[in-house]
Amino acid sequence: MKRTFSIGGVHPADSKISRGCAIEVLPTPPVVYISVAQHIGAPAKPIVAPGDKVKTGQPVAEPGGFVSAYIHSSVSGTVKSIAPRKDLAGNWQTCIEIQVEGDEWAEGIDTSDTLITDFTDDNKLIMDKIRLGGVVGLGGATFPTHVKLAPPPGKKCEMLIINGCECEPYLTSDFRTLLEKGEQVVTGVAIIKQVLGVDKATIAIEDNKPEAISHITSVLETLRKKSPKFEGISVMSLMKKYPEGGEKQLIDAVMGRQVPSGALPIDVGAVVQNVATALAVYDAVQKNKPIVDNSVTVTGDCLPMDRQHNFLVRVGTPLSYIIEHAGGMPENAVKVISGGPMMGKAIANLDAATLKGTSALLFLTAEQTKRQPETNCIRCGKCAQACPMGLEPFLLQKYARLDNAEALEENAVQDCIECGCCLYSCPAYIPLLDIIRQGKVKVMGIIRARAAAAKAAAEAAKAEKK
């Protein structure tokens, strides 16, 4: 029996309609809008001004704190403005607007397709390149990679896990990356493995992607013959189950270890990175290329096969521009999702621009988006059985509706990964995820305020002693 995570999970239809669509380079748009908030942590600080000329790959914003990342121009041209602009949810974010003029790249960036598998033993140099390249986790969280690859004192990584599951329905950009950039991905894995100082790395792929499993296995066999640096890297086929690609679920499936509530993967000896992140590490270290583009799936049941795409898109490209090049808005589409149907976000503003972590544009019809009338909870427990975090969604939604933050925290609402398994499995059509998410936001605010107060008190006590 193939491995999978041990708690909860559901089995939505794959709907990988675009899996046969090779990655195409989307033409560069006439203007890009590069957000300074493209990662978890403090927004980056602009280091250019209106009127400045920039080149592709040139830094345009620097980290705004420890957990922050560099942001680079994805095009060459002139900075037109630095001003708030609405994101896909309609919220205002500072963006650097750049008018495109040609495509001149910053010095030192290798834009050739030449594969380079030999890499330096200097881990400090590697980490500097990852940091300066603005590499962040591209599996959804966009956590700065240079921070994640530097475990805190007392914590040691025992295994590197590469997430190649792409368990979200419809999404295929990671699958295509494994097929088309397998050598680069595996080299990126070897680089990360060396930096972490671990002996083992596993590239985990769900068994509904046999072509990717076979190809990466073959790539590994070839690269091991070239260098011992590729030893210790293996491919693991996992049972298809959602949300297999969640960090904690993947660690459970691969290592058989449970990450405790409030703990991090490193606390059980694991570091998890996405295949697209491994490719970004390869680009940064081997090619001096920062994140200026990423693969975006354009898909949906309402799109004919000749309009299914996996595009390589410059960061900051307006969503409307992508849709235009995919043939325009489908006639019977009523909603566009950024990401997949389980964890993606509905797009309220098609003039918003892509971010480093943008993975897909999914078109849904009225029939696919229509919610059934909510009925009374029948206490069937299906939501609890489906929850991959072992929570009790029926109870959490009750406390959320009562605005009982204390009870929500006691029942670990902060552990919810917002995967949607509870909503997917509820026969009473209760909008469990929506309700629980609102409660989680409130509890997380309380937790952060409590931590800030404790920090302030500790600093005050320290100052008194002096």
Q: What is the pLDDT of residue 225?
A: 95
DSSP state of 386: H
Whether 362 shows a pLDDT value over 90: the answer reads yes
Query: pTM of the full predicted structure?
Result: 0.95
Instruction: Answer whether residue 466 shows pLDDT above 80.
Output: no
CB contact at 8 A, 207 and 243: no
Give bridge partners of residue 81 from the DSSP assignment.
Answer: 97
Reported confidence tier of residue 3, pLDDT bands at 50, 70, 90: very high
Q: Which long-range contacts (CB under 8 A, 24 or more apart) does 344-348 make?
A: 344/168, 345/88, 345/89, 347/88, 347/89, 347/319, 348/88, 348/89, 348/90
- Whether residue 453 has pLDDT greater than 80: yes
Residue pLDDT, tens place only, 216-265: 999 999 999 999 999 999 999 999 999 999 999 999 999 999 999 989 99
List Cα–Cα distances, 184 to 189, 277, 287, 319, in angstroms: 9, 11, 11, 28
Segment 310-328, tens digit of pLDDT? 999 999 999 999 999 999 9
Nearest CA-CA partner of 292 in 276, 314, 277, 270: 314
pLDDT at 14 over 90: yes
Q: Is the pLDDT of residue 461 over 90?
A: no
Q: Two tokens at 256?
A: 């058989």
pLDDT (mean) for 109-119 = 97
DSSP letters spanning 449-461: HHHHHHHHHHHHH
CA distance 119 to 230: 11
Q: What is the per-residue pLDDT for 140?
A: 81
pLDDT band at 91 (very low <50, low <70, confident <90, very high): very high
The pLDDT of residue 223 is: 98
- 309: exposed, middle or buried (C-beta count within 10 Å: 0-12, 13-18, 19+)? buried
Reading the block at residue 291, the tokens are 């994140």
Beta strands 92-100; 31-35: pairing state? antiparallel
**What pLDDT is recorded for position 465?**
80
pLDDT at 199: 95
By three-state DSSP, how is residue 322 classified? helix
Mean pLDDT confidence for 125-130: 98
Q: What is the pLDDT of residue 462?
A: 84
Q: Is the pLDDT of residue 356 over 90?
A: yes
Q: What is the pLDDT at residue 463?
A: 85
pLDDT-derived band at 464 (thresholds 50, 70, 90) equals confident
Mean pLDDT of 136-156: 92
Work out the angle between the directed axes of helices 182-196 and 275-286 (0-180°, nearest 10): 80
Q: What would the mean pLDDT of 40-67 be, rounded to a whole number? A: 96
Query: What pLDDT score was predicted for residue 61?
Result: 98
pLDDT of residue 189: 98
pLDDT in tens, 378-426: 999 999 999 999 999 999 999 999 999 999 999 999 999 999 999 999 9
pLDDT band at 141 (very low <50, low <70, confident <90, very high): confident
- CA atoms of 256 and 421, how far apart (whole Å): 21
pLDDT at 316: 98
- Mean pLDDT of the 341-362 span: 96
The chain-wide mean pLDDT, for the chain, equals: 96
Asked whether residue 430 carries a pLDDT value surpassing 90, the answer given is yes
Report the alpha-carbon distance of residue 322 to residue 329 in Å, rounded. Answer: 10
Angle CA 363–365–367, to nearest 5: 145
Task: Please spell the DSSP secondary structure of 127-150, one letter per residue.
Answer: HHHHHHTT-B-TTTT--BHHHHTS
Q: Which residues pair with 312 in a beta bridge?
A: 25, 295
Radius of gyration of the chain (CA): 22
How many whole angstroms separate alpha carbon 86 and alpha carbon 80?
Answer: 17
Q: SS3 breakdown of the chain: % helix, strand, coil, rounded to 5?
A: 35, 20, 45
The Cα 437–Cα 415 span in angstroms is: 11
What order of strands is seen across the sheet that includes strand 77-86? 31-35, 92-100, 77-86, 53-54
Mean pLDDT value across residues 336-348: 95
| pLDDT for position 215 | 98
Distance, C-alpha 420 to centroid of its chain: 17
Interatomic CA distance for residues 449 and 266, integer angstroms: 25
Give residue-wise pLDDT tens across range 203-228.
999 999 999 999 999 999 999 999 99
pLDDT for the residue numbered 163:
97
